Amino acid sequence: MITGRMNTGTRKKRPFIPYYSNATEENWNNRDYLLNTCKSKGSEIGNSGACARLIEFDGWEIRDDYPFKI
């Protein structure tokens, strides 16, 4: 149960944004960069953020070139 009150009148609505530690505005909006980072198999936890951002960037669709298949 959540207690207390939120002042929603002054709070700006923020969209969902996946966490990605190496994000810059330039690469965060570059599909090729996101795809290549998502494909990399480094141990950096931020790569999963690039994969999430790629899906978001593509309009919440998983395109045929998405590197992981179910």
15-56 pLDDT, tens digit per residue, is 666 666 667 878 888 999 999 988 887 655 557 888 888 998
Tokens encoding 48:
């999963």
Tokens encoding 57:
């960037």
What does the H/E/C string look like for 12-48? CCCCCCCCCCCCCHHHHCCHHHHHHHHHCCCCCCHHH
DSSP for residue 9: T
Q: What residues contact residue 16 under an 8 Å CB cut-off, 6+ apart? A: 56
* Model confidence pTM above 0.85: no
**What is the CB neighbour count within 10 angstroms for residue 38?**
19
pLDDT at residue number 70: 72
